[in-house]
Amino acid sequence: MKNKILVTIVDKNDKIIGHKYRDSLSNNDIYRVSALWVVNKKGDILLAQRHHAKLHHPGKWGPAVAGTVEKGETYRQNIIKETHEELGIKNIKPTVGPKTETTGTWRHFTQWYLLQNNLATDQFKIQKTEVQKIKWFSRDELLTDLKTQPQKFLPTMKKYFKLFYARY
């Protein structure tokens, strides 16, 4: 059961201070998230549309993979597990990227990882309960969509685009 998962709770310096069940998190809790920024050799960015039944930001486009770090996991272990679950890719060797902090209703540190992958979208095996669909966006297409249709994306996607744009 998803709501019986213990997530790692951290302090303002990202030091573990305990664990809580996912469904008992409060606005004061800070937790950990791992996320994967995937590009192909053309520089296109793979994004995932969150399933419409998701509690947070249903139907919004966001990073190809993201997951809440559970008790006993490191950021790296979590992103490897989540990538296998959500995209069907095994044995990835992602590069460590920047760490960001999100504040607001939900507070978390996100450890980013970078991965180059050249699979076509139909070659991924997406987890239908988490991901509605995936799509490769060119940098220009994503930038245009973020400006003209920001409501389609996670509220933080502009920040993420700026974070990675110079990298590719």
Interatomic CA distance for residues 117 and 136, integer angstroms: 11
Interatomic CA distance for residues 141 and 139, integer angstroms: 6
| Predicted local confidence at residue 1, as pLDDT | 42
User: Rounded to 5, what percent of the chain is helix, strand, coil?
Assistant: 25, 35, 40
| Predicted local confidence at residue 168, as pLDDT | 39
Q: Between 168 and 121, whose confidence is greater?
A: 121
Tokens for 110, please give them. Answer: 């996100």
Give the confidence band of 7 by pLDDT, cuts at 50, 70, 90: very high
Answer whether residue 3 shows pLDDT above 60: no
How is domain 2-165 classified at the architecture level of CATH? Alpha-Beta Complex (3.90)
| Predicted local confidence at residue 166, as pLDDT | 61
Answer whether residue 2 shows pLDDT above 60: no
pTM value is: 0.89
Domain assignments of the chain as residue spans, ordered by start:
2-165
Beta carbons within 8 Å of 108's beta carbon, 6+ residues apart: 30, 31, 32, 33, 68, 101, 102
Q: Model confidence over 101-118: pLDDT tens digits?
A: 988 888 999 999 999 999
Answer whether residue 121 shows pLDDT above 80: yes
Interatomic CA distance for residues 127 and 121, integer angstroms: 13
Q: Model confidence over 10-40: pLDDT tens digits?
A: 999 999 999 999 889 888 999 999 999 999 9
| Predicted local confidence at residue 103, as pLDDT | 87
